[in-house]
Structure 1
């Protein structure tokens, strides 16, 4: 028997919480829309799941043909509070009836200020903080680098192997993987350097040793006196959900503090309860100078932020930060409702419970199948890395086949990783335990047949 969740935006009956395929994928109506996409949308905008969505909520996405798929992707960690969360929907509807835009740089409004106040309160550290709001994760990262350069008077920036920070010119330079993010789009922004990441499954190093290796390279090839910022994802996202060894991040943060370098935590994917804490930095005992957020911040509305030490944030001159749509009032209203849910519904605890299920089930699969080389993650941000059992080499073909098989059977999963050999699990925190378990059952069956 399926459970249900009400979708306030549909005005219709509750959405059944079940996996239910009435056609093969894509169904005929979805195929029609996909054909229209091919004719009307630039070829560079791809898609990985062959459906046209019409409704979503709880733990499912429903397509135009009536197929209901289990959602283990959350729109790439965006709908963390759940798609069409009732509080978010109500807040957006109420705000839309009042006003949809003035541009905060023209005439400010309270919603923007309230979001900034919430971010200043929630992000790690008890120091004085300020925030600025933007539209996307890439935009937040780009502005964090601008702020760090202005505050330090230096130009160089260090990012890490396997990093993903966005698709704008500067953030492509920070991003490590060429295809599909960078290939053919250069030249890229200058004064961006790369250091080795702690990758316990592949480098076998302790956190202290991995940090010493990275910092030696930074000191020799760049020099602290030239370095404005070090930017890192506390748990890497697109790069493969790489969890650094204990001690790696604190060593980097301490070195930055000793050398007047701005330490930026990119928490676009890890932020807002995703890892079982409000911010993944908390899990590693680090307090960033600046932190970038987006994705889960506003329940599906486009919003991003840079939050950090007040004296660093204030380094930019008046008019140096902003944007026409940054901190749009609809997105701010959504963010305030989402933040209310994160705090008052104890969603970090729900993320930890989901993580326990994911790690237990995937760990059991790993113990029985040597093609799963590693299972890692925190909270509702967990991944399995697929390898050749004989050599340990990344197996991208198997990964693609398993992901394709899961989608064909009605379970949305996403791949990632520099080598294309990681399947990541990012379920909405509104998913029921029964749907989560069923999705993992499907994965196990697909893997056994692959």
Structure 2
């Protein structure tokens, strides 16, 4: 088996000098990947599953090269992590330099400048010009959990409201905040208490305006939770695992205004939507909202584990000394990677690039939707775009179709992810270093995969 389509010798920006091409020299998975998969089954628990049956050997630009020499088009970015491209030059250099200097001291023991500089940068980049503070952690779930701790400490209240279709992580508290049972929650309870769920804005399915959807949510909060008990509301400005749901215009501002009027901390979970992914630093900017607290992770450190909670100084300072932190939080190597990632976004114009990628995606997929009634909706912002697949006769979610299309694309060397509460959404999160021609080819493969399922 041999498929090769040459696009260019280099990525648009960043990454190692890998040929930017889709190249299949074996069926997927190849023999070396099959061998490693057998070792994985013998060494790694079955609960840690994988989407693609191939093992990576190198990555950069818009491709991932596996151990058998196959080169795959990357439309997933490791779930929105390698936004600036895999092994982006500034990131790789910064990581090497910092590792040579020191890899760890624990910021709570002997602090270092990198942590402070990352905090300063995030204080400046998150929405709003108020006085801010930032604390650093390791994962998105850890950031969310600490945001809840901080909100409870500040308000003296305990209840937290999350929304339908939410995904906030896999720790006990963040599983309680997460809506989707399989595979995230089933069998892992009981979960943390004082977490409540209300309807979100899902225009494709509820048909409500933003203000109408907000009133519905607020009414339920006031009747079933009580403002006097509520520490925080937490929402993803664009829901990720829930299906890249973009709320109707006016929904988020109405929730923010209500929260502020009632002394409730508004937390924007921007773990997936933040750091240039949607064409702005944070997706909250598209609605003009200023959250009290913002969580950041995924794309912030070019592939290294780092997360953050950034927020109003008076709220962030509410926790007592020693109440926030962790052994590895704000690791110096991860901080160096984050600073280089932020520099790369500016130097390479990646905010504008995300917008251009989004225009290319929505133009192609929008045209596809006009021809194929199984494409119920194309939605998203910037380089965070989803395709919701449905039964054209009923409009009901078609998870089997999404699974089949993704599987066919995988077999042809294109990494595409699924999501959605109903499992019927294809999500596209290409690295911003991908070449236009390579992105177009990936969409060609995806379109053929959809056509082959008729």
Common fold by TM > 0.5: yes
Deviation at 1:291? 0.1
Deviation at 1:256? 0.3
**C-alpha distance in structure 1 between counterparts of 2:403 and 2:116, whole Å:** 44
Q: Does 1:2 align with 2:32?
A: no
Q: Does 1:420 align with 2:453?
A: no
Stretches of structure 1 lacking an aligned partner (at least 5 in a row) = none
What are the superposed Cα offsets for residues 182-233 of structure 1, whole Å, 9 maximum, x if unpaired?
0000000000000101000000000000000000000000111100000000
2:338 to 329, 335, 340: 335
Deviation at 1:343? 2.0
1:79 to 66, 79, 82: 82
Contact kept? 1:22, 1:66, Cα under 8 Å: yes
Deviation at 1:99? 0.2
**Normalising by structure 1, what TM-score?**
0.98
**C-alpha distance in structure 2 between counterparts of 1:449 and 1:325, whole Å:** 47
**C-alpha distance in structure 1 between counterparts of 2:346 and 2:184, whole Å:** 35
Deviation at 1:430? 0.1
2:266 paired residue number: 263
Q: Does 1:66 align with 2:69?
A: yes
What are the superposed Cα offsets for residues 92-130 of structure 1, whole Å, 9 maximum, x if unpaired?
000000000000000000000000000001100000000
**C-alpha distance in structure 1 between counterparts of 2:69 and 2:163, whole Å:** 43
2:383 paired residue number: 380
Deviation at 1:5? 3.1
Contact kept? 1:263, 1:289, Cα under 8 Å: yes
Q: Does 1:319 align with 2:322?
A: yes
Which residues in structure 2 correspond to 1:33-432 (within 5 Å)? Answer: 33-432=36-435
Deviation at 1:8? 9.6
Deviation at 1:85? 0.2
Instruction: Return 440-449 or 66-75, whichever deviates more.
Output: 440-449
**3-state secondary structure, aligned to 2:59:** strand
Deviation at 1:9? 9.0
Contact kept? 2:418, 2:424, Cα under 8 Å: yes
**C-alpha distance in structure 2 between counterparts of 1:413 and 1:424, whole Å:** 7
Deviation at 1:3? 1.5
**C-alpha distance in structure 1 between counterparts of 2:110 and 2:341, whole Å:** 25
Contact kept? 1:8, 1:89, Cα under 8 Å: no
Contact kept? 1:157, 1:193, Cα under 8 Å: yes
Stretches of structure 2 lacking an aligned partner (at least 5 in a row) = 1-5
**3-state secondary structure, aligned to 1:306:** strand
1:434 paired residue number: 437
**C-alpha distance in structure 2 between counterparts of 1:97 and 1:237, whole Å:** 36
Contact kept? 2:366, 2:378, Cα under 8 Å: yes
Two-structure CA RMSD over aligned residues (Å):
1.1
**Normalising by structure 2, what TM-score?**
0.97
**C-alpha distance in structure 1 between counterparts of 2:208 and 2:46, whole Å:** 41
**C-alpha distance in structure 1 between counterparts of 2:220 and 2:7, whole Å:** 55
Contact kept? 2:7, 2:438, Cα under 8 Å: no
What is the aligned residue count?
Answer: 447
